[in-house]
């Protein structure tokens, strides 16, 4: 069994494992990485970009090196290589946890329990829930589902197809570092700069593939493409913009607008301004679209890897 088939079987098994099992409640490898990265941060922190770049290099480089060494150790055994890819894929993707959290909030909103939805929202995103009504919470959930489809699933599959297990672990490490230190608080504005910029670079291909697949897999492909072309560049994030705009157009809803993070109010451009306001029922529609995009991404990335490997022989 060739290396490309090992990867294909392993990636499919890992994504299936996530669909069936989701994330473990205890002992998640990403959480262990986060604790290690936090320890490195405490040892290295200085209010300086150079020290932040060192932190990013140590943590992300360590994850890539671990993946490379482990993959090399099991290379003689196709079964072990496929199993390692499956475990790594399951560890780094988070589509099922994303869907569960989104749907739990959606059920609370459908039941009219806005307070329960507010209490649950921080599990999904960093918005200030007290500043949101039911429709605002629903919009926040749809936007988070869109963005995290790229960050938690498609981006990992892209880098796994490019670089195997080291690519899977490296992408999740970079994405986790950005979540930990990449935000623009006074303490991390300079220290987290390298992690944020590296996350932008690593997330670029996955975000564009997510936008394309949202258009192909959504109920309104033309609307998705139109919103992507018209509005993606208005978003402050180079990667969230295409994804959220494409989801907005595919679902026929408006995203963006005023939001609040940590007491700081932001006025973001509206994405797909011709769409209607988000409703509670759109949460489940966004989750279903996210699932379709994830499965399409598996097929596309596996096929692309086999095509490239086949031409290289």
| pLDDT given at position 261 | 65
Domain boundaries, the chain: 3-312
| pLDDT given at position 262 | 61
| pLDDT given at position 305 | 92
| pLDDT given at position 311 | 65
Q: What are phi and psi of 12, to 5 degrees?
A: -65, -45
pTM higher than 0.85, yes or no?
yes
| pLDDT given at position 206 | 98
Residue among 151, 167, 145, 146 nearest 10 (CA): 167
| pLDDT given at position 264 | 66
* Per-residue pLDDT tens listing for the chain (313 residues): 677 888 999 999 999 999 998 887 778 899 999 999 999 999 999 999 999 999 999 999 999 999 999 999 999 999 999 999 999 999 999 999 999 999 999 999 999 999 999 999 999 988 888 878 899 999 999 999 999 999 999 999 999 999 999 999 999 999 999 999 998 788 999 999 999 999 999 999 999 999 999 999 999 999 999 999 999 999 999 999 999 999 999 999 999 987 766 666 677 889 999 999 999 999 999 999 999 999 999 999 999 998 887 666 5
Report the C-alpha dihedral over residues 53, 56, 61, 64, rounded to 10 degrees.
-140
| pLDDT given at position 134 | 92
Packing angle, helices 193-217 and 155-181, rounded to 10: 140
| pLDDT given at position 25 | 74
């Amino acid at each position: 069994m060739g290396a490309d088939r090992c990867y294909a079987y392993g990636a499919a098994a890992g994504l299936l494992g996530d669909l069936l099992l989701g994330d473990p409640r205890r002992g998640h490898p990403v959480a262990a990485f986060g604790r290690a990265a936090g320890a490195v941060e405490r040892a290295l922190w200085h209010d300086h970009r150079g020290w932040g770049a060192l932190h990013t290099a140590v943590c992300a480089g360590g994850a890539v090196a671990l993946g490379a060494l482990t993959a090399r150790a099991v290379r003689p055994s196709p079964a072990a290589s496929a199993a390692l890819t499956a475990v790594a894929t399951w560890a780094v993707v988070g589509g099922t946890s994303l869907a569960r959290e989104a749907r739990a909030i959606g059920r609370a909103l459908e039941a009219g329990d806005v307070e329960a939805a507010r209490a649950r929202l921080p599990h999904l995103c960093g918005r200030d829930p007290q500043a949101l009504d039911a429709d605002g919470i629903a919009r926040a959930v749809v936007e988070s589902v869109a963005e995290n489809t790229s960050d938690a699933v498609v981006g990992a599959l892209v880098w796994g197809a490019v670089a195997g297990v080291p690519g899977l672990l490296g992408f999740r490490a970079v994405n986790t570092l950005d979540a930990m230190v990449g935000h623009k608080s006074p303490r991390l504005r300079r220290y987290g700069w390298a992690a944020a910029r590296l996350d932008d670079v690593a997330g670029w291909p996955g975000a564009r593939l997510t936008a394309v697949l949202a258009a192909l897999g959504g109920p309104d492909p033309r609307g998705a493409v139109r919103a992507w072309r018209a509005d993606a560049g208005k978003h402050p994030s180079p990667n969230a913009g295409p994804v959220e705009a494409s989801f907005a157009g595919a679902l026929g809803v408006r995203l963006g607008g005023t939001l609040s993070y940590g007491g700081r109010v932001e006025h973001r451009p509206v994405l797909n301004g011709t769409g209607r306001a988000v409703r509670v029922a759109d949460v489940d529609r966004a989750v279903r679209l996210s699932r379709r995009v994830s499965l399409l991404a598996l097929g596309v990335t596996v096929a692309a890897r086999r095509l490239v490997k086949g031409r290289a022989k």
